Structure 1
Amino acid sequence: MNLALWIIAGLLALLFLGAGLMKLSQPKAKLAASGMAWTEDFSAGAVKGIGGLELLAAIGLILPAALNIAPVLTPLAATGLVLVMIGAAITHARRKESQPIIANVVLLALAAVVAWGRFGPYSF
């Protein structure tokens, strides 16, 4: 199970690293034009803030545990991603976008598994 948690955390970290960097590096209008219509409902600062949270969570999923420096940050990062995905699902539900909600729920479940495993039976 420890290996499975590392694999899930690694996949989540890669995904959210890319997503966070994209939100931080591109203007809101370009993100909206590329299919992220939800950005129209948020200020540019809020979109950058979400990107920053995703980037920090990606780092927090791997580095603290890998370096054995404050490894409790790993399940906290996973818990943070659960909260981000709840917010994303709510945003898409308000916009009546059902397809992205499926991805949000899958990512939420994976982050919840990492949080459960690292807080519980497979903590560092």
Structure 2
Amino acid sequence: MNIAYWILAGSLALFYLYAGTLKVIRTPDQLRPMMSWVDRIPLPALRALGTVEVLGATGLILPPLTGIALPLAAAAAGGFVLLQAGAIAVHLTGEDRRIALNVGLVTTAAVTLWLATGL
């Protein structure tokens, strides 16, 4: 189970580190081709969302790597489950109905949460 955790958590961490960094440093005009929903939320909320994603990615990796505060890894994975549930709602209430990536991410985060409880 440890190997499975690292594969899933590493994949999620890379994805959220990339996506979160983009949300923090790019302008809404630069993000619009990838994320059509950026105009529906204020810029400070977009920056906060990116910061949460980067911190969550860190929370998936650092606690198991250092052996310190292991429950934080489960909390980070659970946070990503909630984040993606919200993302699915945002996509379904807007014009963009593509949720396949979000469903994959919520599933991966849920399995990662389950694996993190056994660390």
Fold equivalence (TM over 0.5): yes
In the alignment, structure 2 segments of 5+ residues that lack a partner are: none
RMSD: 1.0
Q: CA deviation at 1:28?
A: 1.9
Q: Matches of 1:80 and 1:11 in 2, distance apart?
A: 16
TM-score normalised over the length of structure 2: 0.95
| Residue matched to 2:60 | 61
SS of equivalent residue, structure 1 residue 69: coil
Conserved 8 A contact 2:36-2:96: no
Q: Matches of 2:2 and 2:67 in 1, distance apart?
A: 15
* Matched AA of 1:102: A
| Residue matched to 1:20 | 20
Count of aligned pairs between the two proteins: 119
| Residue matched to 1:36 | 35
Q: Matches of 1:114 and 1:73 in 2, distance apart?
A: 12
TM-score normalised over the length of structure 1: 0.91
Q: CA deviation at 1:35?
A: 2.6
1:6 equivalent in alignment to 2:15: no
Q: Matches of 1:54 and 1:110 in 2, distance apart?
A: 15
Q: Matches of 1:25 and 1:96 in 2, distance apart?
A: 25
SS of equivalent residue, structure 2 residue 34: coil
Q: Matches of 1:44 and 1:96 in 2, distance apart?
A: 19
In the alignment, structure 1 segments of 5+ residues that lack a partner are: none
Which structure has more relative contact order (CA 8 Å, sep 6+)? It is 2
1:97 equivalent in alignment to 2:93: no
| Residue matched to 2:47 | 48
